[in-house]
Amino acid sequence: MFRDARLIAAKDLRIELRSKVTAGQVLPFALLLLVLFAFGLDPDGPTLAAATPGLFWVGVLFVTVLAVERTFSIEGGDGVRDALRLAGLEPGGIFLGKWFALAVQLAVVELVMLGGVVLLYDRELHGIGLLLASSLAATCGIAAAGTLYGVLAAGLRVRETLLPFLLLPVLAPVLIAATRAFESALDGVPSDGWPWFNLLAVFALVYIGIGILTFGSLLEES
């Protein structure tokens, strides 16, 4: 299973390195969001500073929708999905591979966005341990849910409108938990944020588990 996962992840990341869709389109979109939020909320007043953790994670969720779309559109054409199935890879491995590639791309986008927050919103980063740990857990959870719901919407004519509708309510716990963890790290006492990290970790584990178990029945169709 892990060998298959490595193959799939390497394939997806190689395609990304060569096509640079995430780097060229999704990443600038993430930065655009940060600028738009500053336009919408007065950047000189206290509103933007207070809302930064929430805006950051809302931004990540929007980016996730685009990244998930992209990660399943690579297999959209020329019967690539059938080819994947015929290649004899384990479905759980395919899930883990797509999950890992998506998580890596999201993590890169988050790092750049965090840089944007430091530069554009003039924030100093405190509680680095909590920031990194909660980001990592949140990214794992978001990527797992994204991979699962992405394959549910893949190949449908209505996928662009269906995917956010299915995925975003499911990610509500991640948004709440990650935002609170960031608030504790940036403005409060970091030790208050660790229970939120636990919730994020549980979310990630639940989704990775269900993903590995159910991916097979989603692939064998159509």
Partner 1 sequence: MTTPQVPTAPDGTGSPATRVLGIVALAAMALLVYLAFVATPRDATQGDLVRLLYLHPGLAWTAYLACGIATAASIQHLRKRTIGSDLLAHSSVEIGAVMTALTLVTGSVWGRPTWGVWWVWDARLTSTAVLLLLLLGYLALHRIDAPPEVRSRRSAVVGLLLVPNVILVHQSVQWWRTLHQEPTLARRDFDFGASDLMMFTMIYGFVALSLVFSWLLVQRFRVGWLEHQVEEAWLDEAITERRAEALGAEVER
The answer to whether 195 contacts partner 1 (rule: CB under 8 A) is yes
Closest distance to partner 1 from the beta carbon of 144 (Å): 11
Residues 13-42 that bind partner 1 (CB under 8 A): none
Of 88 and 222, nearer to partner 1 (C-beta) is 222
Closest distance to partner 1 from the beta carbon of 14 (Å): 28
Residues 131-150 that bind partner 1 (CB under 8 A): 148
Closest distance to partner 1 from the beta carbon of 76 (Å): 15
Residue among 222, 221, 169, 179 at smallest CA distance from 200: 179
- List 12, 64, 203, 212, residue binding partner 1 (CB under 8 A): 203
Residue with tokens 């993430």: 30
List C-alpha distances in Å: 63 to 16, 108, 115, 123: 16, 12, 16, 22
Of 15 and 210, nearer to partner 1 (C-beta) is 210
Segment holding 90, helix H or strand E:
none
Judge contact between 186 and 53, C-beta under 8 A. Answer: yes
CA distance 105 to 122: 25
Of 84 and 176, nearer to partner 1 (C-beta) is 176
Segment holding 38, helix H or strand E:
helix 27-40
Judge contact between 12 and 98, C-beta under 8 A. Answer: yes
Closest distance to partner 1 from the beta carbon of 220 (Å): 9
Residues 156-175 that bind partner 1 (CB under 8 A): 156-158, 162, 165-166, 169-170, 172-173
The answer to whether 81 contacts partner 1 (rule: CB under 8 A) is no
**3-state per-residue secondary structure call for 125-170:** CCCHHHHHHHHHHHHHHHHHHHHHHHHHHCCCCCHHHHHHHHHHHH
The answer to whether 176 contacts partner 1 (rule: CB under 8 A) is yes
Of 40 and 195, nearer to partner 1 (C-beta) is 195
The answer to whether 199 contacts partner 1 (rule: CB under 8 A) is yes
Q: Which two tokens stand for residue 179?
A: 């935002």
Which residue ranges make up the site for partner 1 (CB under 8 A)?
148, 152-153, 156-158, 162, 165-166, 169-170, 172-173, 176-177, 180, 192, 195-196, 199, 202-203, 206, 210, 214, 217-218, 221-222
